[in-house]
Amino acid sequence: MITRRSLFALSFTAALHAAPKRPNIVMIYADDLGYGDLGCYGHPTIKTPNLDRMAAQGMKFTQFYSANPYCSPSRSALMTGRYPARNGMNVVLFPDSKGGLPPEEITTAVLLKQQGYSTACVGKWHLGHTPNFLPKSFGFDSYFGIPYSNDMSPATSANQNLQRRNAWPPTPLIRDAEVMESEPDQSQLTRRYTEQATTFIRKSSAAKRPFFLYLAHTMPHWPLAASAAFKGKSARGLYGDAVSELDWSVGEVLKTIEQSGEGKNTLVFFSSDNGPAPVGLEGGSAGLYRDGKGTTWEGGVREPALAWLPGRIAAGVTTSAFATTMDLFTTFSQLGGARIPADRVIDGQDISDVLFRNAEGREPLLFYYNQGPLRAVRKGAWKLHISACNVAPGVNDRRYQDLAKPLLFNVEIDPSEKFECAAKNPETVEELLSLIEKHKASFTPGRAQT
């Protein structure tokens, strides 16, 4: 006989089976890694077997963008789903900066924590390093890492302003809010971050709690370093060594997830905060994209991006769907069962249909900011620069200049932005100029922090 209680039990069991389990989420963020620096993105000498495995077992993006070509702003966009000019974090922070991500900003970690997730941030935060701006103030249960770039101390900086640079403290390694070490050995950072990350995964899995791990590596940002197991081992010098160690770290994270029995329930997403730095052979490659870090050419913001969740993300898919780091805020939060805040503009959109159903995605629409100022826009295939640096080929002058005549490129058929075609497409130029004007008119800048 079917009683009311057994009916309830049946329907409860059915609901359990019907609702997809909330996945664990692991976001791995490299620093200044270029689009062309991974084996699975075509690098001929840097070997990245673990990242290649992520691509072979998951999804590889070819039109994935960071919201800014600099460290602090790009990270703020990933965390908040908002353009850095909107969330206020539109400058790079230095050790003498007092501010950080405005406290009223809501991060993915805050939303996922509210849903019962364990949350951890390991590595480079770079959204404020004074006590009120560290990760624990933004939804993370724990933090371990260097809170800004690894070239921001008297010992490591190349800043020409010696008076300013010498007033900075030694590079701090922080646990939660306490400085544990000063000027830690940078060749050990990737390994130490990885140990923290895998311990967190094991503990959270054992506790049967869903988890969100934000693993933001210091490498391969200049000055480069790699541990003895990797130093001198790649065919691409110290840069290749550092990327190889990063790849090893990804392998350790995947292995730990699988050994913890969470291999079919953990979304791992890998990307980079901005394109390769202009530091010669100590920087990376943007592949076929033009220029790199600090510029709004494609090489500054078009990033490698891999998504891995065996059983839910199809294996071996290369997608040309347009997506941005801001979309990850929305997607991760909703996968964890959180509602997206309705009291503010969120620029990111849910890309679950791309990830789990290999949908085509939306028409590309991106406003390219270089820290604060707006420099370019992309809509569909077309990209219009209203202000640019390094305009003349082969000239490395990173000062931006407003362009009397905007530059137009079709980045679908000319992804390297080599063939300027404004004169032949005056209507497209007008359309994109008016799009910029509309965007500016409706855009409310955030409370700037420095």
| Least Å from the CB of residue 257 to Mg ion | 25
Closer residue to Mg ion (CB): 158 or 342: 158
Amino acid code (one letter) for 351: I
State residue 318 phi and psi, 5-degree precision. Answer: -105, 120
Sheet holding 59-65, edge to edge: 178-182, 172-175, 142-145, 118-123, 211-216, 24-30, 266-272, 305-308, 59-65, 317-324
| Least Å from the CB of residue 303 to Mg ion | 10
Closer residue to Mg ion (CB): 124 or 385: 124
Contact between 80 and 106 (Cβ < 8 Å):
yes
Q: Quote the crossing angle between the two packed helices 237-259 and 49-57, to the nearest 10°.
A: 50
Structure tokens at 260: 């913890």
Q: CA end-to-end span of the chain, whole Å?
A: 69
| Least Å from the CB of residue 216 to Mg ion | 10
| Least Å from the CB of residue 70 to Mg ion | 7
| Least Å from the CB of residue 74 to Mg ion | 7
| Least Å from the CB of residue 273 to Mg ion | 4
Closer residue to Mg ion (CB): 71 or 407: 71
Closer residue to Mg ion (CB): 78 or 226: 78
Closer residue to Mg ion (CB): 31 or 303: 31
Closer residue to Mg ion (CB): 32 or 151: 32
Alpha-carbon span 21 to 272, nearest angstrom = 28
Q: Which residues are catalytic?
A: 71, 126
Q: What residues line the site for Mg ion (CB under 5 A)?
A: 31-32, 71, 273-274
Closer residue to Mg ion (CB): 27 or 71: 71
| Least Å from the CB of residue 362 to Mg ion | 26
Position of minimal CB gap to Mg ion: 71
- Closest C-alpha among 380, 222, 221, 373 to residue 296: 373
